[in-house]
Amino acid sequence: MASAATALDLSAAPAEDPPKSTTVFNEPSSDASISDHPIAPDQFDPKWETDRLEIWSYYAYYIGNDGLTLFNFAPTAFQNLLYQAAGDGTTLVFAGSFAIQIVVFLLLGSFADFGTWRPNILIGLSLVAWGIGFGWLGVHDPSRWEVATGMYIVGLIAYQTTLTFWTAAFPGLARNTPELREKAEAYQAGEISRADYDYADTMKRSELSNMAFYIQSLGEIVILAIIVGIMFAVDVNASTANNNWGLSVLIAFATGVWVLLSIPWFLKEKRRAGQEIPPNMNIVTVGFWQLSRALRQIWHLKQSLIYLIGYFLLGDSLNTTVTVIATLQNSIVAYNTLELTYLLIVGIAAQAIGIYAFWRAQQHFRLSTKTMFNIVAFSIIILDCWGMIGIWTQRFGFHHVWEVWLYQVFYGLFVCPWYSYSQIMISEVTPRGREFLFFSLFSIIGKTSSFIGPLVSSAIIDATPSGNNSTPFYFLAGLSAVSFAICVFGVDLERSKREQEVFLEGEERARLQLKGVEVMVESKEGMEVKSGGNV
C-alpha cells in the first residue's frame, strides 16, 4: 500500500548536491474538503494485489494465535502454581513487565512502517512465543513458580506484540484488494464520490477484521474440543499434579497448532513496500525519526487523540471487568481445567455468533464503524451494572455457577466484538502508511489500561471493610459510562479524515525538506518558501 503522501521516490535522492527543485503545496487546513483531491488516496501495483489465498492465510494465523496458549491457559497455570506455592498468608514478589512492553511496541512499531522487512518482526516474535508455549511442558510444579512467573511475563509480551503486528496488516490487505482497486479507478474517473470511496474502504476493512475474528472463533471451538479429549486422556480430575500437568500439556498442544497455522501466512504474505527511507538514514535511524515526529505531530490529530482517550478508559474498564469477573469465577469453579475449558467453548461459540451477527447487521443496515463500536461500549456498561448489583445482594451479581455460564454467553454475543471493532476504529483514525506505529501506540495504551485498572480495583477491595470482591464494579460502571460518552459525543470520524490528510501533507513536506527540495506553501497571503532541513 502506498499513501497519498508518498507519491515521490525519496530513495533516489543523492547524499550531496540536492536537486534545485521546488514543490508547491496548498496551505493545509483541517476544515478543507478531502473530496477535492484529484486522485484516490491508495495507488496500486498489480503485483501487490491481495488475493484470496493471502487473505485466508491471514485468517489462519489468527486461528493459531487465538490466545489459548499465552493469554488464556498460561496465566491460569501461573496463577495455579502461585496459589499452591504461596499457601495461606504468604507473599511472593516478582518483577513487572510494563516498561519492557512500551520499549518493544514503540521501537518495533516505528521501524515497521518502512521498507519491506516488517513481516520478519512477526516471524521473530512468533518464534519467541512458541518457545515459551512449549517451555510450559517443563513447568508444572509449585516449586518452579519463579520460572512460571518469568514465562508468564515474557509470554504475555510475545502474545501481545504478535497480535499487534498481525492486526496492523489488515488495512493494507483491504486497500490492495481488487474491490478497492475498482473503487479507486471509479473515483479517479469521477464515477463515484469521495464519500462512496471512503465507505467502500471502511466496509472492506470491517469485513477483513470481522471475518478474521469469526473464522478464528470457529477454529478455536474445534481446538477446544480436541483439548477436552486431551484433558480426559491426562485425567486432570484425578489429582492436583494431574491438573497441573494437564494445563502444561494443553498450552503446548495449542502452541503446536499455532506453529502449523502460521506457516501459510509467513509464506503467502506479500512484502509490500512501506514508506521510503529518507536520504542519509537507515532502517534504525529512520525509526527513531518517525517516532519523534509522530510524538510531536500527533497533537494535530485531535480526533485520534480523543479516541485514544476513550479507547484507554473503555479498555481499562473492560480489562478490569474481565479480571474481576475471572477472580469471582475462579472462586466458584476453582482452577478445574476441564470445567474452564467447557466455559471457554460456550464463550467462543457465543463469540462466533456475536461477531457474525454484528458484521451482518452493519452490512444490511449500512451502519458506521462508530455505531457498531458504541453498541459494544453500551454492552460493557450493562455487564458492569450486573456486577454492581452483586455488591448489595447474593442472589445474583456473579455469585453463582449459572451466572458464570450466562456471562460467557453475554460476553461472547455483545462484548467480544470489541476486539474487532476497536481495531477497526484505530484504522479509521490512523493516517495511511502509519498503521504499524499507530497500532503500536494504541497497544501501549491498551496495556496501560490492563496494568492500572487491576491496581485500582485491588485498592478498592482493600479499602472496603467487608473485603467484598464485587466492590470495584462501582468504579467500573462509572468509568464505562464516562468512556462511552467520550466516544459517542467526542469522536468525529469525518473530521478525523480531514486531519489525517493535513498530517500526511505535513509529513510529505518534511521528507522533501530532508531531500533538499525547496517547499513552497501556497496560502491566502501568497507563497511561503520552506527550504530543506527545517524539519
Q: What is the pLDDT of residues 293-333, one digit of tens each?
A: 777 777 889 999 999 999 999 998 998 898 888 878 877 77
Terminal-to-terminal C-alpha distance of the chain: 25
pLDDT band at 26 (very low <50, low <70, confident <90, very high): low
pLDDT band at 87 (very low <50, low <70, confident <90, very high): low
Three-state SS string over 373-419 comes to HHHHHHHHHHHHHHHHHCCCCCCCCCCCHHHHHHHHHHHHHHHCCHH
Mean pLDDT of the chain: 83
The residue ranking higher by pLDDT, 11 or 47, is 47
Least confident segment among 37-46, 93-102, 184-193, 406-415:
93-102
Query: Residue 502: which of 291, 277, 303 has the closest Cα?
Result: 303
pLDDT at 532: 43
Report pLDDT digits (tens) over 189-212. 889 998 999 999 999 999 999 999
pLDDT band at 6 (very low <50, low <70, confident <90, very high): very low
Asked if 376 and 483 count as a contact pair (C-beta separation under 8 A), the reply is no
Q: Is the pTM of this model over 0.85?
A: no
pLDDT at 20: 47
- Rounded Cα distance, 494 and 285, in Å: 34
Please report the sign of the dihedral spanned by the C-alpha atoms of residue 405, residue 410, residue 413, residue 415.
negative
pLDDT band at 527 (very low <50, low <70, confident <90, very high): very low
- 25 pLDDT above the threshold of 70: no
Highest mean pLDDT among 34-38, 156-160, 415-419: 415-419
By the 10 Å C-beta count (0-12 exposed, 13-18 middle, 19+ buried), 124 is classed as middle
**What percent of the chain lies above the pLDDT cut of 70?**
82
- Rounded Cα distance, 8 and 18, in Å: 15
- 128 pLDDT above the threshold of 50: yes
The single-letter DSSP state of residue 275 is B
The residue ranking higher by pLDDT, 343 or 92, is 343
- Rounded Cα distance, 161 and 127, in Å: 12
pLDDT at 106: 65
pLDDT at 7: 30
pLDDT at 289: 76
pLDDT at 433: 86
Per DSSP, the residues of 219-232 read: HHHHHHHHHHHHHH
pLDDT at 15: 37
Report pLDDT digits (tens) over 440-488. 888 877 766 566 666 777 777 777 777 677 888 989 999 999 999 999 9
pLDDT at 48: 87
pLDDT band at 292 (very low <50, low <70, confident <90, very high): confident
pLDDT band at 10 (very low <50, low <70, confident <90, very high): very low
Average pLDDT over residues 413-418: 97
Task: Considering only CA atoms, give the Rg of the chain.
Answer: 25
pLDDT band at 290 (very low <50, low <70, confident <90, very high): confident
Query: Residue 183: which of 199, 207, 169 has the closest Cα?
Result: 199
- 91 pLDDT above the threshold of 60: no
Report pLDDT digits (tens) over 224-241. 999 989 989 999 888 989
Contacts of 17 (CB under 8 A, 6+ apart): none
Q: Which long-range contacts (CB under 8 A, 24 or more apart) does 482-487 make?
A: 482/313, 483/310, 483/313, 483/314, 483/316, 483/317, 483/377, 484/314, 484/374, 484/377, 484/378, 484/380, 484/381, 486/306, 486/309, 486/310, 486/313, 487/307, 487/310, 487/314, 487/370, 487/373, 487/374, 487/377
How are beta strands 22-26 and 518-523 bridged, if at all? parallel
- Rounded Cα distance, 119 and 270, in Å: 9
pLDDT at 56: 98
- 429 pLDDT above the threshold of 50: yes
Neighbour tally for 237: CB within 10 Å: 14
pLDDT band at 117 (very low <50, low <70, confident <90, very high): confident
- Rounded Cα distance, 109 and 433, in Å: 12
H or E stretch covering 365:
helix 337-365
Report pLDDT digits (tens) over 376-385. 999 999 999 9
- Rounded Cα distance, 140 and 450, in Å: 26
The single-letter DSSP state of residue 108 is H
pLDDT at 451: 60
- 249 pLDDT above the threshold of 60: yes
Q: Which three cell numbers stand for residue 190?
A: 469521477
Phi-psi region of 334 (alpha: psi -120 to 50; beta: other; left: phi over 0): left
Average pLDDT over residues 86-97: 53
- 353 pLDDT above the threshold of 60: yes
pLDDT band at 291 (very low <50, low <70, confident <90, very high): confident
- Rounded Cα distance, 299 and 281, in Å: 25
Nearest 10 degrees: Cα torsion 358, 359, 360, 364: 100
pLDDT at 285: 77
